[in-house]
């Protein structure tokens, strides 16, 4: 079977299990998940869907999310949309709206606090940038390797341009996405954010200091674009329609631009500098303890949806220093999860259902896709989730300890985790040492997660309940509702 046929077969298997084309109101995907808006949640056959070999798990939030894994989801989604177009009955917009309005409204407000909704918006701004961050980060790593080896000197300047071009203009993309997310005209958000990276700002003084291109970075772009949205909305309300096409864009760029130049760039620049200095100080002076806490608490942060607050911090550090020192530490949470899953596999030799789940999910988990193990194994079992966090804590402490000793380990992009992070690693003491420290942290996370789970992850009652002969259809580990998709670390 060709790759296209395989992807179409996956889409064809999923479509009837989610109620068919007429039950779907929207289709989108992120790095690992197919996200579906549903008219009627009751039509979804959860257990049959989870049993598909290509499905790693499901998560229910404001959309119904099917975990297919990186790469696969980007290829299956177009096939899924094509099948929908072929099979969907003709309906009026009014019919669809009447059928799904109540359910969609209930799903959107489920477990939604203002703070989490704001963090979700922030994630929606930065997640679309991740593929470019990954591609440019890998090219930057390749270029650094060639420069250090003295190979291909005529090619390395071109590679440097490819790697740096996106980062030089990332503020523009952040501004564009921000305006789009907050309900404004996307191109106006990009236009205002472009002021931040324009070389001519070097001729402007603000707060007694000469501005520099890029000052304020992504945080400045975020603030400038949000301001532009509010200015634009105010203009739409008060400017006569006959003048709107001329006056509204002009006032939006003018007012937001002046505030950005003479306020936001300086303030956001100070905040960005403080973030970089705080991260450096924390890891230099309390690296082991900080790594222990960050690695141990990251999975609970993901469960609460609070991990999204870290995305602008990662991006700011990459923009300032060329890499984020936090991501490799947070990636240790996944290592603890893998170690815990291996221990669960050995502790439940008679439970064929859970063991099959672990065997199928482990390859993806080694590459940083942890949802199948989290939602399908450790979290429902309880204690193994805690012991997985312990493994992540020790792995994070290991990496943080070396930061205290002067050996920084960073990632040039966000998104990948586990073994998939190796091509993106960077540091201050050479690539070989950086890779060795990160690999050591993973091994510590695997080992401690395994030992903690094997010896302390099961009570007597838990073993009696789950270590029994079973078939997949007889023992089901339910997937609980979860917060939005975590930024893969």
Place of tokens 């309300």: 237
DSSP 198-246: -GGGGG-EETTEE--TTTTHHHHHHHHHHHHHHHHHHHHHHS-HHHHHH
CB atoms within 10 A of CB 224: 31
Burial of 339 (0-12, 13-18, 19+ CB in 10 A): buried
- CB crowding 63-89: b at 16 or more within 10 Å, else e: bbbbbbbbebbbbbbebbbebbeeeee
Quick one: CA dihedral 212, 216, 221, 224, positive or negative? negative
Beta strands in 83-240 (DSSP E): 205-206, 209-210
Q: Answer yes or no: are the C-beta atoms of 426 and 413 closer than 8 Å.
A: no
- 303 Cβ neighbours under 8 A, 6+ residues apart: 379, 482, 483
Q: What three-state secondary structure class fits 77?
A: helix
Catalytic member of 30, 136, 235, 389: 30
Distance from C-alpha of 240 to C-alpha of 244, rounded to nearest angstrom = 6
The closest alpha carbon to 475, from 14, 47, 13, 43, belongs to: 47
Q: What are phi and psi of 165, to 5 degrees?
A: -60, -45
The Cβ-side half-sphere exposure at 382, using a 13 Å CA radius, reads: 8
The closest alpha carbon to 304, from 39, 69, 61, belongs to: 61
Is 30 an active-site residue? Answer: yes
Residue 90 DSSP label: P
Catalogue the active-site residues.
Answer: 30
């Amino acid at each position: 079977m060709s790759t296209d046929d395989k992807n179409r077969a996956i889409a064809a298997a999923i479509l009837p299990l989610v109620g068919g084309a007429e039950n779907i109101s929207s289709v989108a995907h992120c790095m690992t998940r197919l996200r579906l808006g549903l008219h009627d949640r009751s039509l979804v056959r959860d257990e049959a869907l989870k049993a598909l070999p290509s499905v790693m798990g499901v998560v229910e939030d404001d959309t119904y999310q099917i975990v297919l894994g990186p790469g696969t989801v980007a290829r299956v989604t177009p096939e899924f949309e094509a099948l929908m177009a072929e099979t969907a009955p003709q309906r009026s917009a009014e019919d669809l709206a009447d059928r799904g309005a109540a359910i969609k409204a209930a799903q959107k407000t489920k477990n939604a606090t203002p703070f989490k909704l704001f963090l979700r918006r922030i994630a929606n701004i930065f997640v679309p940038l991740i593929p470019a961050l990954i591609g440019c980060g890998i090219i930057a790593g390749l270029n650094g390797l060639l420069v250090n080896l003295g190979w291909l000197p005529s090619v390395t300047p071109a590679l440097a341009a490819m790697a740096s071009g996106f980062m030089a203009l990332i503020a523009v993309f952040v501004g564009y996405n921000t305006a789009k997310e907050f309900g404004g005209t996307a191109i106006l958000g990009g236009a205002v954010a472009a002021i931040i990276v324009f070389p001519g700002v070097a001729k402007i003084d603000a707060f007694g200091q000469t501005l520099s291109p890029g000052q304020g970075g992504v945080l400045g772009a975020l603030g400038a674009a949000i301001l532009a949205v509010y200015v634009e909305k105010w203009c739409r309300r008060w400017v006569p329609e006959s003048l709107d096409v001329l006056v509204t864009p002009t006032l939006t760029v003018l007012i937001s631009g002046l505030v950005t130049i003479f306020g936001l760039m300086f303030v956001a620049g100070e905040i960005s500098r403080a973030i970089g200095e705080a991260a450096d100080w924390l890891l230099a002076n309390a690296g082991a303890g900080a790594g222990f806490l960050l690695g141990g608490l990251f999975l609970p942060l993901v469960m609460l949806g609070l991990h999204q607050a870290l995305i602008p911090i990662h991006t700011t550090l990459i923009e300032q220093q060329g890499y984020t020192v936090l991501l490799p530490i947070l990636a240790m949470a996944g290592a603890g999860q893998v170690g815990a899953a291996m221990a669960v596999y050995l502790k439940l030799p008679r439970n064929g259902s859970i063991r099959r789940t672990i065997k199928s999910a482990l390859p993806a988990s080694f590459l940083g896709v942890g949802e199948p193990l989290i939602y399908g194994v450790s979290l429902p079992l309880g204690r193994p989730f805690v012991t997985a966090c312990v493994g992540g804590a020790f792995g994070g402490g290991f990496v943080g300890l070396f930061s205290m000793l002067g050996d920084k380990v960073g990632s040039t992009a966000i998104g990948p985790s586990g073994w998939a992070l190796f091509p993106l690693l960077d540091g201050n003491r050479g690539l070989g040492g950086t890779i060795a420290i990160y690999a050591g942290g993973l091994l510590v996370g695997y080992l401690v997660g395994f030992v903690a789970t094997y010896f302390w992850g099961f009570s007597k009652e838990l073993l009696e309940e789950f270590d029994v002969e079973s078939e997949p259809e007889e023992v089901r580990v339910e997937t609980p509702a979860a917060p939005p998709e975590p930024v893969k670390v």
